[in-house]
Amino acid sequence: MPKVVIVGGGFAGCAAAVSAVRAGADVVLVEKLDELLGTGLAGGVMRNNGRFTASEEALAMGGGGLIFQIIDSVSPHKNVSGFPGHAHPSFYYRMLAEPVARRVLLDLGVEIHLESRMVDVTMQGTDVSELHFADGSRVAADVFVDATGTSGPMGLCAKHGNGCVMCILRCPAFGGRVSVAAKAGVKEVAGRRDDGSIGAMTGAFDIHKDSLAPEIARELTEKGVIVVPLPKEEADAHGGEQLKLKTCVQYALPAFAENLVIVDNGYAKVHTSYVPLHVLRRIPGFERAHINAPLAGSRGNSMRYLAMAPRDNALRVRGVGNLMAAGEKAGLFVGHTEAVVTGSLAGHNAACVAAGKEPLELPDTTLLGDILAYVDDLMRTDEGMTRRYTFSGSTYFERMKERGTYITDVDAIRTRVRAQGLEGVFDRRIA
């Protein structure tokens, strides 16, 4: 049985594991933290705008689309109204998602190693032959998937952001990100902001609901989302600048500068990169507000898009024969949905390559095939490297609407996938 090792247990890595094991590979998933789901541990929003279409397309294709069913199972708020600029979102409880995902992966036969930090690789020609870990162990495989993300380590957050804010990735405790692609000799690239600076800042932080005024916490739990106007002087001094920093371009709207837009993810998730605590506590109902994550979320947030690997549209890393990229490692993609769908293809194609077969390149008549080709082309331009691409907003969502690919009829989405011969494609055994 061909062996696939996936490095990074975030949404992309978990989806890759599902697809690879369903394709018939022996799958090992390694993660440096003590939990899976990566930045999904601080997430909360799914199925907003075109992400609904992308989620249903992924479910129709099978494989890692199973992750969407897991998240749906821990989403108390579905098809919510009142979230500015976004239709039919779901909000999941982030503290409930990881145990469910871990159990599902184990039941599928994925071998999971937590607190396992990859630090180096052995190369055999242009292939990776084995991984080296911080504890001195080594693991060999036929094919590897780099789902290590683009955030951290601490020095890069200090250089390009506001320092280490002790985010969910917990580099001080578990060590910083190490990229398989970089260790294999691949020259990675970084995204830029309009002013030429490197990276982008994660776009939200969590407040403990119990530290809010009871009426605010109660309304949030009941409705799933609340919009709290900022005093004009605070919005003028703080909100507008936040829009320039955010990774999440789909939330770079005036409503997110003029208000605190808060969703219920088990905590109170505030959709702005950070608000100084002394400013936050001047807002009525937030006088006792306690920021939960990141721990220094009153001063900043984690930096992202610092290390992306060039890849083809089958998600094979250019220059390395047996390495696939998934999630943010594969480009300037924003969001958990984008991580899941790229992970699904990367895991399937890892199994293909491990079995000596050609990897699958999806047509641009699918959302996943189109966004991979579209982003790859734009990332070859200076302007394209300053953008972020997501199914839920900005450049790519506008493309979906222009092409007529943004639809919410589940039967129609499945019919479209079936007509292309791709229904259940990621459930088909390769090996």
**Is 313 exposed, middle or buried (CB count within 10 Å of its CB: 0-12, 13-18, 19+)?**
buried
Question: Is a pLDDT exceeding 70 seen at residue 235?
Answer: no
Mean pLDDT of 112-119: 98
Label residue 241 by pLDDT band (50, 70, 90): low
Which has the higher per-residue pLDDT, 323 or 230?
323
Q: Which residues, other chains included, contact 178 with Cβ-Cβ below 8 Å and sequence gap of 6+? A: 117, 118, 119, 120, 148
| Bridge partner list, 77 | 91
Average pLDDT value over all residues in the chain: 94
Q: What is the pLDDT of residue 232?
A: 74
Structural tokens at position 222: 């009941």
Q: Report how far residue 354's alpha carbon sits from residue 421's, in angstroms, rounded to the nearest whole number.
A: 23
Give the CA radius of gyration of the chain.
20
Q: Around Cβ 271, how many Cβ atoms within 10 Å?
A: 26
Q: What is the pLDDT of residue 250?
A: 60
Q: What is the pLDDT of residue 255?
A: 83
Q: Are residues 259 and 129 in the same domain?
A: no
CATH number for the domain harbouring residue 174: 3.50.50.60
* DSSP assignment string, 249-284: GGG-SHHHHHEEEEEESSSEEESSS---HHHHTTST
Structural tokens at position 218: 């109660």
Q: Which of 336, 325, 326, 302 is nearest to 153 (CA)?
A: 302
Q: Are residues 146 and 243 in the same domain?
A: no
Percent of the chain scoring above 70 in pLDDT: 95
Label residue 352 by pLDDT band (50, 70, 90): very high
Mind listing the pLDDT tens digit for each residue in 191-205?
A: 998 888 999 999 899
Q: Report how far residue 65's alpha carbon sits from residue 277's, in angstroms, rounded to the nearest whole number.
A: 39
Q: Report how far residue 149's alpha carbon sits from residue 139's, in angstroms, rounded to the nearest whole number.
A: 20
Q: Are residues 220 and 93 in the same domain?
A: no
Residue 298 counted as domain residue: no
Q: Which of 45, 49, 11, 14 is nearest to 29 (CA)?
A: 14
Question: Is a pLDDT exceeding 70 seen at residue 239?
Answer: no
Beta carbons of 160 and 197 less than 8 angstroms apart: yes
Q: What is the pLDDT of residue 243?
A: 55
Q: Around Cβ 275, how many Cβ atoms within 10 Å?
A: 25
Q: What is the pLDDT of residue 8?
A: 98
Q: Report how far residue 203's alpha carbon sits from residue 213's, in angstroms, rounded to the nearest whole number.
A: 24
Q: Are residues 127 and 218 in the same domain?
A: no
Q: Are residues 177 and 266 in the same domain?
A: no
At residue 388, what are phi and psi to the nearest 5 degrees? -130, 150
Say how far residue 32 (Cα) sits from the centre of its chain: 17
Give the pairing of strands 259-264 and 26-30.
unpaired
Beta carbons of 279 and 176 less than 8 angstroms apart: no
Q: Report how far residue 272's alpha carbon sits from residue 52's, in angstroms, rounded to the nearest whole number.
A: 23
Q: Are residues 162 and 181 in the same domain?
A: yes
Q: Are residues 30 and 164 in the same domain?
A: yes
Q: Are residues 314 and 360 in the same domain?
A: yes
Q: Are residues 177 and 207 in the same domain?
A: no
Label residue 245 by pLDDT band (50, 70, 90): low
Residue 242 counted as domain residue: yes
Mean pLDDT of 142-150: 98
Question: Is a pLDDT exceeding 90 seen at residue 21?
Answer: yes
Q: Report how far residue 244's alpha carbon sits from residue 136's, in angstroms, rounded to the nearest whole number.
A: 42
Q: Are residues 175 and 221 in the same domain?
A: no
Residue 361 counted as domain residue: yes
Q: What is the pLDDT of residue 240?
A: 55
Mind listing the pLDDT tens digit for each residue in 274-331?
A: 999 998 999 999 999 999 999 999 999 999 999 999 999 999 999 999 999 999 999 9
Total number of domains constituting the chain? 2
Q: Report how far residue 315's alpha carbon sits from residue 212's, in angstroms, rounded to the nearest whole number.
A: 44
The C-alpha torsion from 226 through 230 and 231 to 234, rounded to 10°, is 160
Structural tokens at position 317: 């890393």
b/e for 277-312, b at 16 or more Cβ within 10 A?
bebbeebebbeebebbbbebbbbbbbbbbbbbbbbb
Q: Report how far residue 106's alpha carbon sits from residue 97's, in angstroms, rounded to the nearest whole number.
A: 15
Which of 249, 270, 293 corresponds to the end of one domain? Answer: 293
Q: Which residue has the tokens 């005036």?
A: 254
Give the pairing of strands 205-207 and 143-146.
unpaired
Say whether pTM exceeds 0.85: yes
Structural tokens at position 259: 């208000």
Q: Report how far residue 22's alpha carbon sits from residue 104's, in angstroms, rounded to the nearest whole number.
A: 13
Which of 245, 267, 293 corresponds to the end of one domain? Answer: 293
Which of 238, 271, 293 corresponds to the end of one domain? Answer: 293
Q: Are residues 327 and 403 in the same domain?
A: yes
Residue 127 counted as domain residue: yes
How far is the CA of 375 from the CAs of 17, 180, 251, 331, 370, in angstroms?
Answer: 24, 22, 20, 7, 8
Mind listing the pLDDT tens digit for each residue in 65-82?
A: 999 999 999 999 999 999
Beta carbons of 354 and 25 less than 8 angstroms apart: yes
Q: Which domain holds residue 316?
A: 3-195+303-427
Label residue 248 by pLDDT band (50, 70, 90): low
